[in-house]
Amino acid sequence: MGKNLKTISPLGIGTSQLASWGRGITLVEAKRLFDTALDYNATTIDTADTYGSGDSERIVGKAIANKRADFYIITKAGFPHLDLPGLLSPFNQIGKKIMQKAAFKQCYSKKYLITSLEKSLKRLNTDYVDAFLLHEPLGAALKEFDDFYEALELIKKKGMANHVGISTNDAAAYHIASGKITLDLVETGMPYIPDEKETVFGHAKKDCIPVVLNEVLKPYKSLLANDSIMAVLKKHAKSDEDLLSILLAYAINEKKGQCALIGTRNPKHLIQNIEGFHNNAHFIAIFNEISSQFSVKVRN
CB 290 within 8 A of CB 242: no
Cβ neighbors of 184 (< 8 A, separation 6 or more) are: 5, 131, 162, 163, 164, 165, 209, 210
pLDDT at residue 1 in the model: 42
CA atoms within 13 A on the CB side of 298: 23
Distance CA(275)–CA(280), nearest Å, equals 8
Segments of the chain scoring below 70 in pLDDT: 1-4, 6, 20-22, 81-104, 192-194, 217-226, 229-230, 232-234, 236-240, 280-300
Distance CA(257)–CA(67), nearest Å, equals 26
Q: What is the pLDDT of residues 191-217, one digit of tens each?
A: 766 678 889 999 999 999 999 999 886
Distance CA(219)–CA(244), nearest Å, equals 10
Q: What is the pLDDT of residues 154-184, one digit of tens each?
A: 999 999 999 999 999 999 999 999 999 999 9
pLDDT at residue 256 in the model: 86
CATH 3.20.20.100 fits 5-218+252-280, yes or no: yes
Confidence (pTM): 0.86
Residue 128's CB is within 10 A of a number of other CB atoms, namely 18
pLDDT at residue 253 in the model: 80
User: Per-domain residue ranges for the chain?
Assistant: 5-218+252-280
What is the identity of the amino acid at 63? Answer: A
pLDDT at residue 19 in the model: 78
CB 274 within 8 A of CB 237: no
Decide: residue 32, CB within 10 A, 0-12 exposed, 13-18 middle, 19+ buried.
Answer: middle
